[in-house]
Amino acid sequence: MLQGLSLRIRVFLFFAALMAGAGAALWLGLWLGYHRLGANPDALVGFVQAGVVAGFAILGLIAGVWYLFDVNVAKPIDILAGALRARAHADVTGEMDAAIARYLGDLAPAASAAAASLAETRNALAESVARETARLADEKGRLETLLSDVPVGVLLCSGDHALVFYNGQAVDLMAAGMAPGLDRRLFDFLREGPVRLAHDRLIATGDTDVATDLLCSTIGGATVLAARMRLLPAGAGAVPGYVLTLRDVTADLAAHARREALLAEVMDRARRPAANLSTLLAVIPEGEAAPGRLDAALRQEVQALTQAVTELAQRQDDGRHDSWPLALTRAADLADGLKARLEGRGLPLETAAANLLLRCNGFEIILLLDEIALHVRDAGLSQALRLTIVEEDTGAMIRLLWVGQPLSIGLLDRWLAEPLDKAVPDIPCRTVLATHATEIWPEPHGGLQSLCLPIRQARRVTQRPKPVQRSVVYDFDLLEKARNAKVAETPLADLTCVVFDTETTGLLPLQGDEIVQIAAVRIVNGRRVEGEVFDTLVNPRRGIPLSSTDVHGITEAMVAEAPFIEEVAARFHKFAEGAVLIAHNAPFDMEFLRRAEAKLGFGFDNPVLDTVLLSAVVYGQHEVHSLDALTHRLGITIPEEARHTAIGDTVATADAFLKLLPMLQGKGLITFGDVLREVRKHGRLLKDLNG
């Protein structure tokens, strides 16, 4: 009940209770004194007068003390609390009037200091937020610029296939210049089948680091697109969204056609004059074309020209098979792409495709079958078609089936001589067959008419798509970073560092112990770069004692096929080139590396920092500076399974160094040279390795 009252009311009630208690005590004392006198009536008046005078005196005294306490303690505390609350919640930044609480000892200065510290912290936080906001806005602008310049369409979709991002190229590919609109369904623009199947395939793998390629078509079926899908991270139980990149190979096919047409035209123009010259010289008797040696030279040059043209033409024909890439295409995507294209032209198509990956150019196959299907309809052979793709030996068989009249070989040849696409008139349909080293022919099949198109290479779809590397590593602050050749004058935060650790066969490098594992991470601009890691086992060319295996868990079987130290040290030297090396107890690890220098022909002359010495600078030599003790003080947890592994200890050392950085800067140690001078004061603890 009293907690709901203000401080001043509670103080008043306290003094009122004190006043009541004092009055009761006074009355009790007078009553006892009066009765000790035998209840003499003559003394009653004196006792009453004494009680009244004493009561008013006590009342006045307590009231006065209450007033002074209220004015100088309770009221200033309320005012001070209000002022602090205003600065805490109302963003008031003015200085507090310490005079209002001058009788409260050090409370007023302490409150003023706390308010000032709060204001400074808030201002610093606001400035930091403003800087980070500006930096993020700048990075956002750069990323937007990069994405807008990417020559493929990029889409980000939610788990229920709603658009959350698209770039300008995607607009052109999907909607012919019309903005699709955020939060609209992707299937308003692309056919649902291949996209949904690819999404389900990736979710089934349970791996966010895999991607899958697919063929998809626009709703109208006019454009067949090459696409790649990759899942986005999602929370527990949520359906992951995905990134979809789109590429229209129609333009690539047109460019390919123009190059092929140009080469064909060049070869044709060169072949005819060469053939004519050869024919002309063949009918002219020797000696009549030109006198003496000139005649022989002319015939020799014409012969060389004819031979060169023939060889180049043959090489062009041989290279035609390799001039357009044959990627792995899902049979279901190819069937859906053809279905979309034909249905867009009013020709229904029923499809049935095995779960296969075909080694083919899916776009050319779709264009070829599209042209042939339209010819089948226009020739009156059938108005409804069926497409099947089945496994056959090491390849696959594509069949276009219909109920109706058979197709003659002559009519099929005429169709194959026509352009593959009106947009690329220089490439006939037969070119697709040459590219794939295959043929197409009509034959009856299961009581139906069919066209058979074999694909030479195909395989069944495996359960898990091939993973791809997708990490993007960047630090745009490096664009403005000033380069300073003098490491000693470089601020610690600007250093590029490589933190590393080794696991060995033992603790005595001078007695033949060797490295069995080395790991390293890079620190750039004051942050650990997640994607830049060096981690490898090393074959020590000797046995690993069981006592060492008990520590790091590395057995002789694990390093039997590992590279030797010469190869690993050379790779690590390249990884650490131009960086400051950082290790915990660096002399131990560096001794093992420097033993390999004679075989390498170069040395590890990088500047070195030791987190043991940095810990001593910050905490003093009296503390324990083991890696476990240091990480415990800094609140860093090393998983039990990662302790005493090279990569686990490396990551812990890197995180410890990053937490020591601001503590070193707080001691006024700003540059590498400042730190170097300070760590050398602790040489009794550990030797500094910088010459």
480 vs 200: which has the higher pLDDT = 200
Nearest to 288 by CA among 274, 301, 298: 298
Under 8 Å between Cβ of 200 and 191: no
pLDDT at 468 over 50: no
Percent of the chain at pLDDT > 70 equals 79
Per-residue pLDDT at 536: 93
pLDDT in tens, 163-178: 888 887 888 787 655 5
CA distance 263 to 267: 6
**Catalytic residue check, 375:** no
Mode of pairing for the β-strands spanning 385-392 and 349-353: parallel
Q: Catalytic residue among 321, 552, 584, 644, which?
A: 644
Exposed (0-12), middle (13-18) or buried (19+): which is 567, by Cβ within 10 Å?
middle
SS percent in the chain: helix, strand, coil, step 5: 50, 20, 30
For residue 575, the Cα-to-chain-centroid distance in whole angstroms is: 21
Strand order in the sheet with 211-217: 163-166, 153-157, 242-248, 224-231, 211-217
Q: Residue 520: which residues within 8 A CB-CB, separation 6 or more?
A: 498, 499, 500, 501, 533, 534, 535, 572, 575, 576, 650
Out of 87-96, 241-250, 307-316, 567-576, least confident range? 87-96
Residue 257 CA neighbour count, 13 Å, CB half: 20
CA distance 595 to 604: 10
Per-residue pLDDT at 306: 73
| Most confident of the following: 396-400, 552-556, 660-664 | 396-400
pLDDT at 250 over 70: no
Nearest to 516 by CA among 644, 651, 652: 644
pLDDT at 480 over 50: no
pLDDT in tens, 578-635: 899 999 999 999 989 888 887 788 888 899 999 999 988 888 887 788 888 888 888 8
Percent of the chain at pLDDT > 90 equals 18
Binned at pLDDT 50, 70 and 90, residue 195 comes out as confident
Centre a 10 Å sphere on the Cβ of residue 625 and count the other Cβ atoms it contains.
23
Centre a 10 Å sphere on the Cβ of residue 494 and count the other Cβ atoms it contains.
16
Q: Long-range contacts: 405-414, Cβ < 8 Å, 24+?
A: 405/380, 405/381, 405/449, 406/442, 406/444, 406/449, 407/376, 407/379, 407/381, 407/442, 407/449, 407/451, 408/442, 409/441, 409/442, 411/379, 412/372, 412/440, 412/441, 412/442, 412/451
pLDDT at 186 over 90: no
pLDDT at 464 over 50: no
290 vs 501: which has the higher pLDDT = 501
In 34-51, which positions are buried (b, 16+ CB within 10 angstroms) versus exposed (e)?
Answer: beeeeeeeeeeeebeeeb
Residue 138 tokens read as 């700048």
**Rounded to 5 degrees, what angle do the CA atoms 438, 443, 449 make?**
120
Binned at pLDDT 50, 70 and 90, residue 479 comes out as very low
Mean pLDDT of 320-349: 76
Q: What is the DSSP letter of 179?
A: -
- According to DSSP, the residues that pair with 212 across neighbouring strands are 229
Residue with tokens 């308010």: 115
For residue 218, give Cα distances in angstroms to 18, 195, 337, 684. 89, 11, 9, 74
Q: Residue 50: which residues within 8 A CB-CB, separation 6 or more?
A: 30
pLDDT at 470 over 70: no
CATH topology of domain 484-682: Nucleotidyltransferase; domain 5 (3.30.420)
User: Strand, coil or helix: what is 582?
Assistant: strand
To the question of domain 152-251 being in CATH 3.30.450.20, the answer is yes
For residue 510, give Cα distances in angstroms to 69, 506, 513, 552, 566. 79, 11, 7, 20, 18
Q: What is the DSSP letter of 162?
A: B
Binned at pLDDT 50, 70 and 90, residue 390 comes out as very high
Per-residue pLDDT at 296: 67
Per-residue pLDDT at 169: 81
User: Strand, coil or helix: what is 392?
Assistant: strand
Residue with tokens 């602090």: 84
pLDDT at 389 over 90: yes
Is 152-251's fold the same as 484-682's? no
Mean pLDDT of 98-116: 74
Name the residue ranges covered by the structural domains of the chain: 1-149, 152-251, 484-682
CA distance 213 to 194: 10
| Most confident of the following: 127-131, 432-436, 468-472 | 127-131
Per-residue pLDDT at 197: 80
Per-residue pLDDT at 423: 61
| Encoded amino acid at 629, one letter | A
- According to DSSP, the residues that pair with 595 across neighbouring strands are none
**Nearest 10 degrees: Cα torsion 346, 350, 356, 359:** -30
Out of 94-108, 180-194, 235-249, 621-635, least confident range? 94-108
Binned at pLDDT 50, 70 and 90, residue 91 comes out as low
Binned at pLDDT 50, 70 and 90, residue 518 comes out as very high
120 vs 243: which has the higher pLDDT = 243
pLDDT at 404 over 70: yes
Per-residue pLDDT at 286: 59
CA distance 541 to 48: 111
HEC-encoded secondary structure of 487-502: HHHCEHHHCCEEEEEE
pLDDT at 315 over 70: no
**Nearest 10 degrees: Cα torsion 538, 543, 544, 547:** -170
- According to DSSP, the residues that pair with 521 across neighbouring strands are 499, 533
Per-residue pLDDT at 569: 93
CA distance 667 to 8: 46
Out of 158-167, 322-331, 473-482, 510-519, least confident range? 473-482
Under 8 Å between Cβ of 211 and 469: no
